[in-house]
Structure formats: C-alpha cells, structure tokens
Amino acid sequence: MNQSNEEHQGPDGPYFHRPAREPMFNLPTVVVGLSLILIGIHLVRAYILSPNEEVQTLLLFAFWPVRYVSGFMAQYSWPGETASAVWSFLTYGFLHGSAEHIGFNVLWMAVFGSAVARRFGATRFLLLSAVCAIAGAGAHLATNWGDQVPVIGASAAVSGQMAASLRFIFEAGGPMSSFRRHDTHAYAVPARPLLEALSDRRVLTFILVWFGLNFLFGVWSAPIAGEGVSIAWQAHVGGFVAGLILFPLLDPIKRRWS
C-alpha cells in the first residue's frame, strides 16, 4: 500500500498537504490471489469435474477423521494412501461446500486477513494461514476421533487470521481504534502481550461473541447440502487459538511492553 499527499491550491499557490486515503477495496495482493484460488477450485469442482471425479477429490483432499483409526488404512484402500492422510491436514481448507460457504470465508478474509497481510507481508501471512488450518484439523480430529464425516473449508485459517488481527487492530493508532490512522502505519502499531490485550473490553467482547456464535454453529450444525460434509466448529476454535498464540512468533513489529 502506498500513501500519497494531495496538494490543494489557493490563490497564492499550495496551502496545505493532506494524506490521501487509500481506496476501501485496495486489498493486499496475497489476499486477492488466495481468494481467487479458492474460488477457482470451487468453480472447477462445481462445473467441470464429473460426479466420480468430485468424489475422488474429496477422498484425496478433504479431512477424514476416520482415516486415523488404528488399522483403518490397512483394511481399506484409499486414494493417495498415507500421503493424502498427511496433506489433507492442509488441503481441506481449499475445498468448500457451496457458494455461500466460500463467500463467507472470502469476505472475512478480506476484512481481517487483509489487516494481517498488511502487517505480516505475504510469506508470513500464508504461513500463519497454513498453520492455523493444520491446527484446526488437529483440533477437529482430537474431538471427533473416528468420525466418518469429512471436513472442508478455509474457516480454520480465516479464524486464525481473525485472532491474529485482534492483537493489534484495536491498539492506539490501529485500523479499528478510536483514534485510528489511515495510512500504512495503522498496521504497524506495536502490540501488547496477550494477557494485557485480553484486558481490552473490545478484544474480550469480540472473542466472547465469536466463541458464542461458534457454539451455536456446533449445536445446529448439519452436513452441507449435496456434499455430505460438514463445517466443524472445533476446527474454527483450533485455528483461532493458534492465531492468538502464533501472532508474536510471526509478528515483524517490535512488541510493546507496559
């Protein structure tokens, strides 16, 4: 993101300079690129793959907790065998069950992921997203051992992005603070330690509402129509917790101590 100054002309020449605000939809390239990849994969699955190819795609790349039950792989043949049991901890995040499903994830990534991408840069942003997706799969596996319903969606990664953004967006001068800045410096404000950040009523309220909504999703969760897969709230929680914990390890901005 580049900041420019607007020069205003008066009768005797320029009389002040004001920082020009960036366009609202000037999203980081990495967020746009990742969103297009997710959308492209979904369109290929929806309009190009045959029903049999779609089933094979889910077997190869969705996350199936049942695969990790002792003796399962020795008893059943599975596309990709052991390799797909490893990469599916990440690849499930590239699959979505419907246009609404992917739309929500892309929307929240545009809002919260963009803030993290502007602060972290592309490489750290992608690393955070990948580790949060893996953490989400691990959390779902731990709480749904042997479940035969596959899990898909980028929600765990996006939840991690949300959590990471909470570590700095409400700080003084941050992009969502009361006295916010409108330039790149808004995304470079020093962050407080986690326990101190949790004392901020805005951060705590966001987290409580977020966990409450995910609890409701868990109570009323059901397989996605036409796909036979479900969105797991435990994966969301795993990704969110990972984002909170990983933030200081990946944050390129020196932390503020009080």
pLDDT-derived band at 219, boundaries 50, 70, 90: low
DSSP 5: E
State both tokens at 97: 């069950």
What is the rounded CA–CA span in Å between residue 231 and residue 224? 8
How do residues 189-207 score in pLDDT, each as one tens digit? 999 999 999 999 999 999 9
pLDDT given for residue 77 in this prediction: 84
What are the domain boundaries of the chain?
29-250
The secondary structure element, H or E, covering residue 87 is helix 81-91
Cα distances (angstroms) measured from residue 112 to each of 66, 119, 245: 33, 11, 17
pLDDT at position 102 over 90: yes
pLDDT at position 48 over 70: yes
How do residues 153-185 score in pLDDT, each as one tens digit? 999 999 999 999 999 999 988 888 766 666 688
- Within 4-64, where are the H helices? 29-47, 51-61
Multiple choice CATH, 29-250, 1.20.1540.10, 3.40.640.10, 4.10.410.60, 2.60.40.420: 1.20.1540.10
- The answer to whether the beta carbons of residues 189 and 196 sit under 8 Å apart is no
Residue type, 178: S
